[in-house]
Amino acid sequence: MGYSPDRPFLATAIVNGQIVDAVVRTGDFVPLTIKGRYGKDNTRISGFFDFSGSDLLAPFAARIGRTAKFGFATTPDTDGDGQQGVAWRLISENLTSNAVGQISVKDRTSRDGIRLDVATPSLTRLVGSPVAGPAAYTGLFKGDASSWSLAGGVDLIGVEASSYRVRRLRGPLNVQVRAGRLDLDGDIQADGGSTAGIIGGLLGSAPRLTFEAARQADGAILLEKVDLKGQAIRLTGSGGRNLVGGLGFRGDARITDASRIHSGARGAFGGPVAASTARSGAPWRLTFDGRGRNLSTGQSELDRLLGAAPRLQLTGALNAGRIEVERAALTGAQGSAGARGLIEGNGRLRLALNWNARGPFGVGPVEIDGAMTGDGALTGTLAAPRADLRAAFANVNAGALKLTDANLILSFRKGPDASDGRIAVTAGSNYGPARA
């Protein structure tokens, strides 16, 4: 069990139909004690765990705390209605749980339900990755061990997901298990969400998500219905299983107000989104085909290149919690761009870019003739992206200075409150080699 081999180890247990008395010792240390009485009509059992001192149990200590206490009790059917009282309680540093209700003496099902409460002061610590601070779930359990339902609600504080932070997230969350299938549905409302970055600008401070999902008997995960509404985004869709067992999802994803993600922008952008997988456990194939509607970025030169109705076509895969972008093609009125790479589950970006555009380009007093081609990388996160770009131009005119075969390197970083960047140019000129 992960304890030191240099210390004597002893485990004793008495279970005789009436008494439970179990103790585990390693040297002078007692990591486990369980004591109590049990019977047909009445049960009282309590216990104490100490997870310290064991390499094997170290993950429990890290996530729920060094020690845990528990108690379990049943009461007799005193009124003859065939129902027996049942209750339990678990107390540890980072997890508490208690339940109280009635079960049938005959078949051990709960007709009227068992009230269940679970809480943690740090969900991040409990699951081992950045998720949320304090979290709680309260629900009513009905059924038996093989077929049951849990109707309740969740409440999370300080949520973090894909570069988006929310002060509070709560709403109904229900579970039903039957014949090996698990169904999950919810109506989750956020409050106090951050509006920083692309994700924050789209979702806003109070997005709402309603959904129905299922884990089928073979382990397949299916999103049956989804409706996400933020201050500048709307995602709707439904999924199902075909006759040969494949899973599919079809929906519509739209940015409804571009001004929410960039000052001076306007218009909308969106289109159909689809996902499919041939079997449970295989990556999901993703496609998206979006078009702009009266779209403007607020930057005149970029708007000239894109036009009012640019098109974005994307193909990729959802694999191991991240999006693998195999091909993303943006086609505008006077230019096009492509990308491929990864979008991690935590919002981190690793994308390679390429583009070409038709001139002339006007940047202040500078005029760039002909075509422009380039490549680069998009890194950082969805909340704070960074672009490192390289571009090549045939001719650049800046007053009396005429540049030829110019190469430009641009680094741009967008933060939550401001943006910054740098530009470097090398070229030939009518005055000799030029560098800036």
For residue 261, give the 3-state DSSP assignment. coil
| Rounded-to-integer distance, Cα 301 and Cα 318, Å | 34
**What does the pLDDT look like over 152-178, one tens digit per residue?**
999 999 999 877 899 999 999 999 999
Q: Please give the average per-residue pLDDT across 5-31, as a whole number.
A: 86
Which residue ranges make up each domain of the chain?
363-373+382-436
| Rounded-to-integer distance, Cα 279 and Cα 242, Å | 11
**What does the pLDDT look like over 360-417, one tens digit per residue?**
766 555 566 667 788 999 998 877 788 888 887 777 766 677 777 777 787 777 654 4
pLDDT recorded at residue 197: 82
Q: Please give the average per-residue pLDDT across 300-316, as a whole number.
A: 92
Q: CB neighbours (10 Å) of residue 69?
A: 13
Long-range contacts of 282-286 (CB under 8 A, 24+ apart): 283/317, 283/318, 283/319, 283/324, 284/247, 284/317, 284/318, 284/319, 285/315, 285/316, 285/317, 286/314, 286/315, 286/316, 286/317, 286/318, 286/323
| Rounded-to-integer distance, Cα 107 and Cα 146, Å | 12
Q: CB neighbours (10 Å) of residue 286?
A: 20
User: Mean pLDDT over all residues of the chain?
Assistant: 88
Question: What confidence tier does 418 reach under pLDDT thresholds 50, 70, 90?
Answer: very low
Place of tokens 């505008």: 332
Percent of the chain with pLDDT over 70: 92
